Amino acid sequence: MNFNKYDVVVIGAGFSGAVMAERFASQQNKRVLVLEQRPHIAGNCYDKIDTNGVMIHQYGPHLFHTRHDDVWDYLSQFTEWHPYEHKVLAHIDGKLSPVPFNLNSLYAFYPEQEAIALESLLIKRYGENAKIPILELKETDEPALQALAEFIYNKLFVNYTCKQWGCKPEDIAPAVTARVPVVLNRDDRYFHDKYQAIPKAGYSKLIENMLSHPNIQVKLATDAKNYLQLDLASKQVLFEGDVFAGQLVFTGMLDQLLDYAKGELPYRSLQFQFEQHDKEYFQPATTVNYPNDEEFTRITEFKHILSQKLNGTTIVKEFPQDYDRHDPKCNIPYYPIFNEQNQQAYEAYADVIGDFDNVIAIGRLAQYKYFNMDDAVKNALNCFSKPEGG
């Protein structure tokens, strides 16, 4: 393969790689090669129609939402949208209630008169529409509100978080707990961004449209590590032993790229169990969380997302697990594990990559940072607009 006939080589065909490829091709007329190790584009956003006729998300539900006008306008060049506002229920003590915990949740779990009294206490102390961090509510001097905070923390939050991150309750960082809100209104939407919608033809088609520029060539099922090497001494990028003078955009794991020279960066992985059911609907909302009762954390029913009218339905159960690159059942890295030690380990790798003038490390894996989809797009657009990116 003659890599030097390309101006830019992009490793990875998820959102970060696709944005960078599209921008270099359309804005700078660069010849771009995209290498993707999977047999499909779109990364973890990959979706497809299953044998039930349901548009499923192969790597778990992806619900697009953003407050960024530039991200919305950019992606709208490549897709039409299906309006969709995500709502999540939690299965607790045999009941279903909205998540995050709001006033509708309050009335689902408490007798009406007690709920009215608690609502009055909450509104009087915090005001209507307030979002109160659960830690703040736990520290109140009002006994009834303290009891409410303990109920929410124990029933909705602590066990779900422990399953998600594989930790004990006492190991949950206060910074994580602080982000859990109690919402003092009856708005059941999970997100509140200005734009909330799903690509009408799916994420795979959206990414396909982004990569359809005539200057872009995509090679699937191609492991870049078979061709790519970084010469640490000369600070040069090599493909098949030859110096590559163009721009390398890398969206994979830095520890893997550098042969784990400074140790492995830990991740959490996920196992997905898909089920098809011969019924119109399996559950009343797209996603139902199971904080306490099951090994899985949630069930997603995909038909709700695009409002598909079908006789059958497809669900997926989500089982968090430790990442192990040697085990094909859990070798997909989904979530970086944030703590000071891991961040320092990542920075050691980032410092090495930073010495290469023609390498851009970008995206969730390459930056060891959790991005929502719109954050990934925004991050790539900003990166391209910088002198070294564009």
Give the whole-angstrom CA distance, residue 160 versus residue 297: 6
Contact between 89 and 333 under an 8 Å Cβ cutoff? The reply is: no
In 3-state terms the chain splits into helix, strand, coil percentages (rounded to 5) of 35, 25, 45
Which has the closest alpha carbon to 99: 296, 298, 268? Answer: 298
Strands across the sheet containing 8-11: 216-219, 32-35, 8-11, 247-250, 359-361
**pLDDT value, residue 246:** 97
Q: In whole angstroms, what is the distance from residue 88 CA to residue 191 CA?
A: 10
Q: Tell me the CA distances in angstroms from 41 to 14, 315, 378, one per residue in order.
A: 7, 23, 19
In this structure, what token pair is assigned to residue 25? 């091709």
Tokens of 304: 């709700």
Q: Which of 229, 248, 237, 286 is nearest to 61 (CA)?
A: 286
pLDDT (0 to 100) of residue 98 = 96
Q: Of the candidates 306, 288, 369, which has an alpha carbon nearest to the alpha carbon of residue 57?
A: 306
What is the pLDDT tens value at each position of the chain, 390 positions in all?
Answer: 899 999 999 999 999 999 999 999 999 999 999 999 999 999 999 999 999 999 999 999 999 999 999 999 999 999 999 999 999 999 999 999 999 999 999 999 999 999 999 999 999 999 999 999 998 999 999 999 999 999 999 999 999 999 999 988 878 777 677 778 999 999 999 999 999 999 999 999 999 999 999 999 999 999 999 999 999 999 999 999 999 999 999 999 999 999 999 999 999 999 999 999 999 999 999 999 999 999 999 999 999 999 999 999 999 999 999 999 999 999 999 999 988 899 999 999 999 999 999 999 999 999 999 999 999 999 999 999 986 544
Residue 260 region, left (φ>0) first, then alpha (ψ -120 to 50), else beta? Answer: left
Which structure tokens are listed for 103? 């006033």
Give me the pLDDT at residue 106, please.
97
Domain boundaries, the chain: 3-41+211-266+337-385, 102-183
- Homologous superfamily (CATH) of 3-41+211-266+337-385 is NAD(P)-binding Rossmann-like Domain (3.40.50.720)
Q: How far is CA 200 from the centre of its chain?
A: 19
- The answer to whether the CB of 117 falls within 8 A of the CB of 125 is no
Tokens of 260: 């784990």
Residue 95 φ then ψ, to 5°: -115, 160
Long-range contacts, stretch 106-115, CB < 8 angstroms, 24+ apart: 106/148, 109/151
Nearest residue to 24 (alpha-carbon basis) of 229, 220, 244, 217: 217
Strand ranges in 213-357 using DSSP code E only, listed in sequence order: 216-219, 228-231, 236-239, 242-243, 247-250, 267-277, 287-289, 298-301, 313-322, 335-336
Quickly count: other Cβ atoms within 10 Å of residue 340's Cβ.
7
- CA atoms of 368 and 254, how far apart (whole Å): 9
Q: Which of 108, 86, 110 shows the shortest CA–CA distance to 97?
A: 108
CB 48 within 8 A of CB 56: yes
What are the start-end ranges of the E strands in 120-256?
131-133, 181-183, 195-199, 216-219, 228-231, 236-239, 242-243, 247-250
Q: Is 100 exposed, middle or buried (0-12, 13-18, 19+ CB in 10 A)?
A: buried
Q: Which helix (H) or strand (E) holds 220?
A: none
Q: Residue 127: in which H helix or E strand, if any?
A: none
pLDDT, position 42: 98
